[in-house]
Structure 1
Amino acid sequence: MVVVLILTSCSSSTSGTGQNQPQQQAQQPPAQGSGPVDVSKSESSVVKVIEASNPANIPAAAKNRPDTLIVGTTAPSGKFNPIYADSVYDSYVTELVFDGLLMNDEKGNPIPNVAESWDISEDGKTYTFHLKKGIKFTNGQELTAKDVEFTYTAIADPNYDGPRMDSVMDLVGYDEYHNDKEGKVPKLEGIKVIDDYTISFTLKDVKASALTSDFGYGIMCKDYYNFEKGNIQKLKDLFLKPMGSGAYVFKDYKAGQEIDFEANPNYWKGAPKIKNLIMKVTNADTVIQELTTGGVDVDIVAARPENIKMLQDAGFINIIYYPSNSYGYIGWNLRLDKFKDKRVRQALMYGLNRQGFIDAYYKGYGQVCNAPVSLVSWAYTDDINKYPYDPDKANQLLDEAGWVKGSDGFRYKDGEKFVIHWMTYTGSKYVDTLIPIVKDNWGKLGIEVVPELMEFSTLSTKVYDEQNFEMYNMAWSLSIDPDPSGIFSISQDVKGGFNSVGWRNDESEKLIEQGLRETDQQKRKEIYQQWIKLANEELPYLFLSYSDDAYGISSRVKGLKISPYEDWTYYIYQAELVNP
């Protein structure tokens, strides 16, 4: 189920390779993009479009900035680097500033970007990329194979502590290079610069997801970012001074407020039509007002009837919504004794009225999630346990797991009271709706829940960088390929990795490995559906919600294409502002 929407009147193509990214719910922006075609001519009936009833009713606040596009966003954490960005919001910044070897079309197929073509060896292990000549970084230097080599070698550095290690771990010589703390291995054997415009990557084994999962990261300029092996801190010191070959040049960052960009006049795909771009921080309490008053031109909103109506009433806003390539979940720290028994995790699933939450919050624009794969994925299966709301079953499982109710109504095991400290984020009606339901439902089971609210960027740091939490909730904006290794593999169970919950399951590792080595998609589908059933049984997360993505887009914005597999950043250079 692949859907695409384009706002304008021409036509377009291409897009960017998606990777797994954490995000907050309610104002969640998973996969979008940009391009052309009339908003009324959706390429799929799955995409729903509500056209502006009065396109000329654009507020003066927007009309008075004819050369500036403002896009609403959740506050990023400031990791503005393509191999360190660990949220959707930081990745929007890197997608504007950097370009990767490959992109993808609206169906998720890899297509050329910095690499104009590629070859795959007969044994399926070596990928050779031929780079487009004449691409310049914004400092004037030409992008060559040495910059590609530098970017991917940096991910393999012994002191790399970001979430993208899965893109290089299968390379020949990775272990030798990564584990070399004394600098005796100067090169990563699996990466070979053939000439200025040709580079090859050789894997230890076949990796079916490689093209769609590993070669979309923005290429860094070696001369600008260069560091001695092991001293990767030098690269991190430039988080707030990103420099790449992308459509926009990073100008300023006001933490918690906005990020400012200026068009790259020498962009190799053509100078962007919009001179200035601002990513402005909004939240669930401000997003509708910002859109309807012209404070922002584009933003994602929770797909709920009242939000849709308020945007419609403004008259000048086009609204599009479609099933997102994402899901919402609650994560628990499996390193803690209270969560180690899967019967406890299953009890918490049965004991939470997830359908009641979906009905209360989404009101027809979402549904219950039971597995870590999106509805738009070719690997999706509905043949799994649905965990309907069943307090009796939940109580039974908790009893079996040794958590017994005391005279005060709370459960205890070995003298420990069952208390869950739940870290979540501020400024979200999704969270505001969820908290009382969780506290009530689990409270009736004899479990005390203590919510701790904080900024989303702070939560991300505690969850991924520090792994310092008991329970949290977020959403995943998913990659195109259903390979779960980037989130659930044991290799990601490190600080900075995406397996923040610490799920370590041998059967999962076996199935992940099988899925990566199988190139027949039907056979891969069968493998991943086995894995989905395992995850549904073991519950590394409490799977919570699927939702529609809904975007409000001012009628003065033309050329913005959106789909589950494309970010709004991918074709931003083609977008333009036209006031009626």
Structure 2
Amino acid sequence: MKRKVVAFLSLAMSMTLLFSACGKSGAGGAGKDLKASEVIVAVNPEKLPPTATNRKDTIVIGFTAPEGKFNPIYGGTIDDSYVTELVFEGLMSNDVQGNPTGLVAKKWEISEDNKTYTFIINKGIKFSNGEELKAKDIEFTYTALCDPKYDGPRADAVEKLAGYKEYNKGDAKTVTGIKVIDDYTISFTLTEVKAPALSGDFGYGIMCKSYYTFEKGNVAKLKELFLKPMGSGPYLFKTYKAGQEADFEKNPTYWKGEAKINKLILKVTNAQTAIQSLSAGEVDIDRIGTSPENIQMLKTSGFVNMQLYPANSYGYMGLNLKDEKLKDVKVRKALIYGLNRKGFIDAKYKGYAEVCNSPVSQVSWAYSDDVTKYAYDPAKANTLLEEAGWLKKDDGFRYKDGKKFEIHWMTYKGSKYVDMLIPIVKENWKAIGIDVIPELMEFNTLCTKVYDEQKFEMFNMSWSLSIDPDPSGIFSAKQAELGGFNAGNWINPESLKLMTAALKTTDTNERKKLYGEWLKLFTEDVPYILLDQSKEMWAVSSRVKGISLSPYIRFTYQIAEAELVVPKAK
């Protein structure tokens, strides 16, 4: 849901909603307190292998599956967001509680009618090409989001701007709701109140106008610079080797002062190699799936600290509601009743995950479990399929109008999570007469097919969520367009009504009530098969100081202050 992103996660992407693979994400839950954080301290911090100690000026951080869309208004995966957050900075960020804080913006004012946001920006912020960041660059960035040819997932940040429709659909040369007052002051005027605007819409990294410039309608020029990102953040992007790593050097002109670590490498790891790479000292920081086995292996290394906290995320299987068989809500309910989600989660995480019953994190003020739970019930699943006209034949599978009930499930390679999920889904759904055909592919290919092309029946991913629980960042009608996050095309009139009403009120209690109604509607309509809610775990080498992660704080927020040290024996 969008607060805003990663989900995760930013608008800087702290404030953005992001999608990711589940293979390396942490989990926490059953029998444990999902809301509790925990730090497991390394018992022998001085046991660092030479591979790590000899890498004196470089930090290596693991990531999984970047798409290579290294642009703050296009990147949709959590891994792409790590790159953009290192290179770009937005007007706003957030503190550990999720409250909005200024970044490029030094101060801000909100009009009495809650429709106009005026930002005064810090002087002396420079892009890495030497140009000073000014209001015109902010205007350029947000006007790009309004472009009629913009096909990324962030349009919801500008749809309520005065003049958006005239610019996006008409011949207007500018967006009237964006006003440059002077070099260091800019205002944004909305057509209606939008409760999460401050924390949700003003964290996207600011692009340098002279570097990224394009004429209206030619926004594709931004894509030509995906692999040449240039901003005002703490690190400079140097090179990217697809499937291997992205390399950075500290920005010597960073306005807050040079980063303490000279070089940074984002290295591609996976569930099979991540712990080994950490234990060998080849990687300093990585996100690891939370399980007793993984915790014990990391403890054995002696020098790895573990930070566990409630994840602002959830895992799910997305359904294409344009597909004829999946249009029927009885079929969708049968699928979720017919899947032993708890059995999968318990087997995979052994006490470190809970079944997700509500598409909002338990750390959110909007969380509610007053929804339909869908406990595993094959008998009910069979009844629903019969009612929907899908009848079993002698081969054990169901047919309707002469067509066998097959469901093609697109998923990604290199994930223990997926490897365990596949046989459970196939077995559970075969038992109710459905033939599941998994189609494994690279994560980037999956993202393209799901979001850019919407050519799928079912897929699985996880959402790294925004701080604000607004779900319109995923489930609005606009997001159902190609490139948007509502790839399954769940466009429910009551859902749209509730989301709109919640956006128009600044009363948190009223918003919570509206979101409670929305959560009930979502679970009754089953546009997703919700899977797990979890704790996230990050392994951090004892040679890294200054990184303290939590649901709303990512390593990119603290990287400029982090440093490498030589641990001493206790």
With normalisation by structure 1, the TM-score equals 0.94
1:117 and 2:107 aligned: yes
How far apart are the structure 2 equivalents of 1:233 and 1:518? 36
1:567 and 2:551 aligned: no
Alignment of 1:56-455 (within 5 A): 56-180=46-170, 184-455=171-442
Equivalent residue, structure 1, for 2:36: 46
How far apart are the structure 2 equivalents of 1:16 and 1:166? 15
Equivalent residue, structure 1, for 2:31: none
Secondary structure of 2:47's counterpart equals coil
Contact 1:190 1:203 in 2 (8 A): yes
Secondary structure of 1:27's counterpart equals coil
1:22 and 2:39 aligned: no
Equivalent residue, structure 1, for 2:482: 495
* Amino acid in structure 1 at the alignment position of 2:490: W
How far apart are the structure 2 equivalents of 1:249 and 1:29? 29
CA-CA distance at 1:352 after TM superposition: 0.3
- Superposed structure 1 runs of 4+ greater than 4 Å apart: none
Secondary structure of 1:459's counterpart equals helix
CA-CA distance at 1:18 after TM superposition: 2.1
Secondary structure of 1:569's counterpart equals helix
Secondary structure of 2:48's counterpart equals coil
Secondary structure of 1:574's counterpart equals coil
CA-CA distance at 1:75 after TM superposition: 2.2
* Amino acid in structure 1 at the alignment position of 2:335: L
**Alpha-carbon displacement from aligned partner over 1:66-125 (angstroms, at most 9, x marks no partner):** 100000000201000000001000010000000000000111110110000100011110
1:479 and 2:466 aligned: yes
**Alpha-carbon displacement from aligned partner over 1:33-72 (angstroms, at most 9, x marks no partner):** xxxxxxxxxxx98111110000000011111111000000
C-alpha RMSD over aligned residues: 1.2
With normalisation by structure 2, the TM-score equals 0.95
* Amino acid in structure 1 at the alignment position of 2:565: V
How far apart are the structure 1 equivalents of 2:408 and 2:534? 26
CA-CA distance at 1:385 after TM superposition: 1.1
**Alpha-carbon displacement from aligned partner over 1:404-432 (angstroms, at most 9, x marks no partner):** 11121110111111001100001110001
CA-CA distance at 1:212 after TM superposition: 1.2
1:458 and 2:458 aligned: no
Contact 2:353 2:532 in 1 (8 A): yes
TM-aligned CA distance change 1:277 to 1:452, over 3 Å: same
How far apart are the structure 2 equivalents of 1:189 and 1:495? 26
Of 552, 576, 579, the residue aligned with 2:539 is 552
Structure 2 alignment gaps of length 5 or more = 1-11, 28-33
CA-CA distance at 1:17 after TM superposition: 3.3
Identity, in percent, stands at 62
How far apart are the structure 2 equivalents of 1:409 and 1:278? 52
TM-aligned CA distance change 1:536 to 1:426, over 3 Å: same
How far apart are the structure 1 equivalents of 2:329 and 2:534? 26
How far apart are the structure 1 equivalents of 2:25 and 2:342? 20
How far apart are the structure 2 equivalents of 1:366 and 1:345? 23
**Alpha-carbon displacement from aligned partner over 1:447-473 (angstroms, at most 9, x marks no partner):** 000111111111111111111111100
* Amino acid in structure 1 at the alignment position of 2:315: G
Secondary structure of 1:570's counterpart equals helix
Secondary structure of 2:538's counterpart equals strand
* Amino acid in structure 1 at the alignment position of 2:365: W
Q: How many aligned residue pairs are there?
A: 550
**Alpha-carbon displacement from aligned partner over 1:487-510 (angstroms, at most 9, x marks no partner):** 011110011100011101000000
How far apart are the structure 2 equivalents of 1:18 and 1:426? 28
CA-CA distance at 1:16 after TM superposition: 6.7
Contact 1:17 1:110 in 2 (8 A): no
